[in-house]
Each structure stands twice: as C-alpha cells, then as structure tokens.
Structure 1
Amino acid sequence: MSQLVKQNRRKIFGLILLVIILLICMLSSLMFGIKHYALADIYNMSMFFNAQDITHIIIWKERFPRMVIAVVTGASLGMAGMISQLLTRNPLGSPSVLGINAGSIFFIVVFVVVLNVTDLNVIVYFAFLGALLAAVLVYLLGTVSNSGTTSVRIILAGIAVNAMFVSFTQIILLMNQKGMNDVLFWMAGTISGRTLDMLFAVLPFLLSALIVTCFLAGSMNIYASGESIAKGLGQNIMVMKLTLLVLMVVLAGGSLAVIGNVAFVGLIIPHLARSLVGNNYAWLTSYSIVLGSIFLLVADISTRLINPPSEIPLGVITAFLGAPFFIYVAFKGGRARV
C-alpha cells in the first residue's frame, strides 16, 4: 500500500513538473521567433496593451493564437494517438499510420478544390467525415478475415488506406493544379497563419472529446485487459470500440482541420507517457494531454528558429522526429503492452 502511495506521489509530482514545463514552453512561444521579445514585452502587452505598438500587435495577433492552437491541437493529437494504440492494441497505431490524416486531407481537397467550398465551419465537418471514413475502412479491412482481427492486420490496413487516399489526393491536384495553393494550407501542416477563429470552429468538439476520454479512463483500463476479461466484467465491447473510434476521429479530424497534415504526434506521445506512468489510463490521459501540448509547442518554436527568417513547415519537424521513432518501435518488435 505504501509503495502504491509513493508511486502515485511520483506521478503527481511528474505531472506538476510537466505542467510547469508546459507553461515555460507557452511563454517561450510568445517570446521567440524571427524577432525575439523579452519578458518585459510580454508583461507590458498583457497589462498595458497598445494597439499602436507593433510589438504588442505581433505578440497578440500572431504569437498568442499560435501558442493556443499548438496547446489544444497537441493535446488532442496526443490523446488521439493513445486511443488509436488502445483500439488497435498495437504500439505502432496512430492517426497518421491508420490513414486518418490522409482521409481528412482527401476530403478537404475534394470539397475545396472540386466543389469550391471555402467556409471553414463547413470544411471542419468534411475533415471529420474523411477521418471517420478512413477509420471505418481500416477497421473493416482489418477484420475481414476468418482468423479474426490482429494488430498487425489493422496496421497493414491503415498503411493501405493511407496510400489510397494519398493517391486520390494527388490525382485530384494533378487534374486541377490551380487549386493546389488553396489546399497547401492543410497539406503542408503548419500553425503559421492560423487564427483563433479557425480553432473556435472545432474547439467545442475537441474539448468535449478530451473530457469524455478522461472520464473513460477506468473503462479503458478494463478494455485494455483484453476483450474476454472485459466481457466478463460486464463491459459492452462493441459500444466501447465505437466510442473510442468516434473520440479518435473527433480529436484527430478536428486538429487536422486547423493545422493540417501534422503526422507522428499521436505515435510518439503515448509512448513517452507510457514510459513515465505505465499502462494506467487514469494517468496516461493526463500525461498524454500535457506531453502532446509540450511536443507541438517545441516543434512550432523550432520551425521559427532553425532557418530564420524562413519557417520550416511544422509537418516536416514532426516527421523528422517521428519517422525514426516509428522505425525504432517497429524494430523493437512492438512488444509494448497497450
């Protein structure tokens, strides 16, 4: 009992430490960029905002929205990755690997380029629809077998669906190259140029999904113990799977509708969280939220500092970090329990 109390104290301390790091990263996001600002500038902007001061305008109109968007979408993608690994029971599971990213981008391209839809509030629902279709296709392809569902089959189905949607997207853009500029906004994956209005269009969905996922931590612990055990404990497996699928689609699709095709966040974050707190989803949910926010904030800050005054697309940074991590987990044999 005393050992359990000590472990919980360590996890609480670790979470508090991560929250402090998150706050430092949020402050750094306001300070660092093509032009660096001091803490005094941030304080003066907060307390004595001057609409005629260019420093105040840049911090408030450009850097503050980037910071908020990175925090919310990073948390959402981290949680979506945790859910996808639980749902597929595979440490390689993530929205990007399962084709969720490609499905969302494909639907955005179809409705923006082909149907000339420009209303972000409408495009958000198309991103959700694309993510849902990709998730359903992966699940169906991964279960169409006499030998049942395996985590490897799910991953292979995800790779196939991802390749299919990427191919369809490229065909559409080749047939209508004039529309490429309209969708590079989402395809490149970046927070630069995004506004809070874009985030507000999906914020209710993301916050609701994050809250529901946290409340489902106990049920996820039961589900993670195995379907036979979960059934024996009275859990409705089909309802649980459907709920997890919807939550993953909302979290991943909503984030992609704002920042575009940013991959591998959902792969890396659950592994980092699991290395710190184990497989207890009561802790994994909170750690994934904070770590996801920190990761995307650091990645966004890096896009500004690596090659100033130019910015590197955020998707490039996350792919640079995520691709080797994917290879490492794959060669490790995927033995981590999820």
Structure 2
Amino acid sequence: MVQLNHSKGKILGLFLLVILLFICMLSSLMFGHTHYKLADLYSMVTSFNEHDLTHIVIWKERFPRMVIAVVTGASLAVAGMISQLLTRNPLGSPSVLGINSGSIFFIVIFVVLFKVSDLNIIVYFAFLGAIVAAILVYLLGSVNYSGTTSVKIILAGIAVNAMFVSFTQIILLMNQKGMNDVLFWMAGTISGRTLEMILAVMPLLLFSMIVTCFLGRSMDIYASGESIAKGLGQKVMVMKLALLILMVVLAGGSLAVIGNVGFVGLIIPHIAKTLVGNGYVWLTPYSILLGSIFLLVADICTRLINPPAEIPLGVITAFIGAPFFIYIAFKGGRMRG
C-alpha cells in the first residue's frame, strides 16, 4: 500500500475516502435480503409514502443501520487509535483495557438478573459498564508511587478484562435461560437497533471525535515519549487522562449500541498509518472515514452471506481481524528480533 507523503496527496486521499464512504452508505440502503434500486431511494426521499413497504423498510430498517454503522465504526476506529497511543502497543484496543467486557458484564446483569428488555435503556447500562471498567483500569494503573505507565495500564486492563469475563460467565452459567437474551450483544450486531439508540449517545461520540481531531498535534508530542513531552511543556498526566476519557466515551458509546464488536479499533489505525504515517493530525480523520467504511461493508456482508438469516456483525469483524492480529503480532516480533 502506497503511503501519502505530501499534504495534497493526503487531502486527495480524504476526498476519495469520502466518495467511497458515500458509495458504501448507498449500498447499505440498497442491499440486503431484498435489493432496492437508486430510484427507490430517490422516491423515498422526494415523496415518502408511509403505506409503501419499500419506503418503510428503507427508512425504518436500512437507514438506522447505515447511520449506526457510520457513527460506531468511526468511533471504534478512533478509540483503537487512542488505545494504541496510550498503551504504546500496536496490538492495543479498547478490549485490551477491559472496556468491551465491562459493557457486556453490565448488559448481562441488567438483562439476565433484572429482566430489563428495553434496548434504549440497556444502552445506558452498557455505557456505564465501560465507564466503570475504565475507572478500575486507571485506579489499578495508578496505585504505585511512580504513577501510571503504559505497561501498568495494559496489565490493569488485562486483569479487569479477566475479572469481568469471569463474572459474566458465572452469571450466564447460573442463568442459562438468559443466554439467548444477551447472545447478540455478546456477538455484536446492528440488526434490530433503532435510531433512538444511536441518537442517545451520538452527541457524545461526535463531540469526542471532534476533540480528538483538534488534539492531533498534542498527541504527536505525547507520542514522542513522556520525557520529551514533559520537556516540551506538556502536562502528560492531564493529556493521558483526557485521552483515556475520550477512548472510554468512543468505545463505550459504540459498544453500548452494537454490542461486542471487536478488531475495528485494531485494524483501522494500522491501515490509516500505512496511508498517512504516524502523524495524528492526519491519522484521526483517516481513521474516522476508514472505520465507517469498514463497518458499513461488514454490516452489508452480514446480510448477503447467508440470506435471509443474518450473521452477527462481530463474527464478520473477527473473521477479518483475527488474521490481521496474527500478522501484526508476527511483524512486531520479527522487528524486535
């Protein structure tokens, strides 16, 4: 893959990605168990008929899925980018820091034990789980006099992740009848999600992505090393805490809507770095666009592979992401060797 070294090339690349994103958005509205034409989309936009089944399906089912895929794909990609910066690990992702398992644990508690069935309410519980997991990771990573370090954050994340996974398995083993109620949350899916669910967290997600874009140069300074960043006058602890909060909001808000969809935050930052290098001024907008495109394509695949049944979205992203994970791990080990 060719790296774009000049600003003009990077701007052109952004423009091409915007066009590709628009094509994927149209494809998301058109393709599924039933295929529609551009004329159907045009008819729905210009003269919506609430009694027309085509218009109803596009507006009530396909449009929410498209919006959710765009927003959550971008959010997970940026969250993964921040996670790799915080941990200084190319294999870093929100799941490494326990964010995914925290969300799923809270979903399981309230769905299985408290019989909560309203998806719009479950979103907030899942978001709360992500916040609790992040607080635990930060506290565990700060218990030593030396303060937080990247290694301590990773180790704390692994411990918190293992704890939440264990608790989740215990609850499900004791209440096996409730497993079907949370299965799609655990596997990850956009099917059945409503526009109200993403609207509940969208302001936070959009605001966090905008803030991350404006922090591009500060992240470049932080990426140069904590000692160098301190020498340049950056308040490293404040920066680290701000990045952690942004990551939690982006990952937690997305996972609260679509469930345990992994590997987006791992794959997309590496693809973006291949295109534009390590500068976060460009890396962030590229990650946003690539993340949206990736999740849109993955969601379309869930409908087309085995119609009329749908494959969970998390299965598709894992199918793509697992070999990529192995490649990155092998590449990193070879470089250290």
Q: Normalized against structure 1, the TM-score is what?
A: 0.91
Q: Which residues in structure 2 correspond to 1:277-296 (within 5 Å)?
A: 277-296=276-295
Distance in 1 between the 2:274 and 2:164 partners?
33
Q: Which residues in structure 2 correspond to 1:42-191 (within 5 Å)?
A: 42-118=41-117, 120=119, 122-141=121-140, 151=150, 154-191=153-190
Distance in 1 between the 2:38 and 2:259 partners?
31
Distance in 2 between the 1:327 and 1:94 partners?
14
SS of equivalent residue, structure 1 residue 190: coil
Aligned partner of 2:332 in structure 1 is: 333
User: What is the deviation of 1:145?
Assistant: 7.0
Structure 1: gaps of 5 or more residues: none
User: What is the deviation of 1:15?
Assistant: 0.5
Root mean square deviation of aligned Cα = 2.2
Aligned partner of 2:203 in structure 1 is: 204
Aligned partner of 1:244 in structure 2 is: 243
Structure 2: gaps of 5 or more residues: none
Q: Which moved more, 1:210-219 or 1:280-289?
A: 210-219
Q: Which moved more, 1:247-256 or 1:326-335?
A: 326-335
1:25 and 2:24 are equivalent in the alignment:
yes
Aligned partner of 1:314 in structure 2 is: 313
AA of the residue aligned to 1:310: A
SS of equivalent residue, structure 2 residue 97: coil
AA of the residue aligned to 2:57: I
User: What is the deviation of 1:123?
Assistant: 3.4
Say if 2:106 and 2:126, in contact at 8 Å, map to a contact too: yes
User: What is the deviation of 1:183?
Assistant: 2.1
AA of the residue aligned to 1:246: I
Distance in 1 between the 2:269 and 2:301 partners?
21
User: What is the deviation of 1:146?
Assistant: 8.9
Could you say if the C-alpha distance between residues 68 and 320 of structure 1 is closer, same or farther in structure 2, counting changes exceeding 3 Å? same
Aligned residues: 332
Q: Which moved more, 1:183-192 or 1:264-273?
A: 183-192
SS of equivalent residue, structure 1 residue 19: helix
Could you say if the C-alpha distance between residues 212 and 150 of structure 1 is closer, same or farther in structure 2, counting changes exceeding 3 Å? closer
Q: Which moved more, 1:139-148 or 1:68-77?
A: 139-148
User: What is the deviation of 1:51?
Assistant: 1.2
Could you say if the C-alpha distance between residues 140 and 92 of structure 1 is closer, same or farther in structure 2, counting changes exceeding 3 Å? farther
AA of the residue aligned to 1:37: Y
SS of equivalent residue, structure 2 residue 94: coil
Say if 1:79 and 1:251, in contact at 8 Å, map to a contact too: yes
AA of the residue aligned to 1:218: R
User: What is the deviation of 1:189?
Assistant: 0.5
User: What is the deviation of 1:126?
Assistant: 2.8
Q: Normalized against structure 2, the TM-score is what?
A: 0.92
AA of the residue aligned to 1:7: H
1:303 and 2:310 are equivalent in the alignment:
no
Distance in 1 between the 2:184 and 2:75 partners?
20
- The percentage of counterpart residues that share the same residue type is 80
User: What is the deviation of 1:36?
Assistant: 0.8
User: What is the deviation of 1:144?
Assistant: 6.2
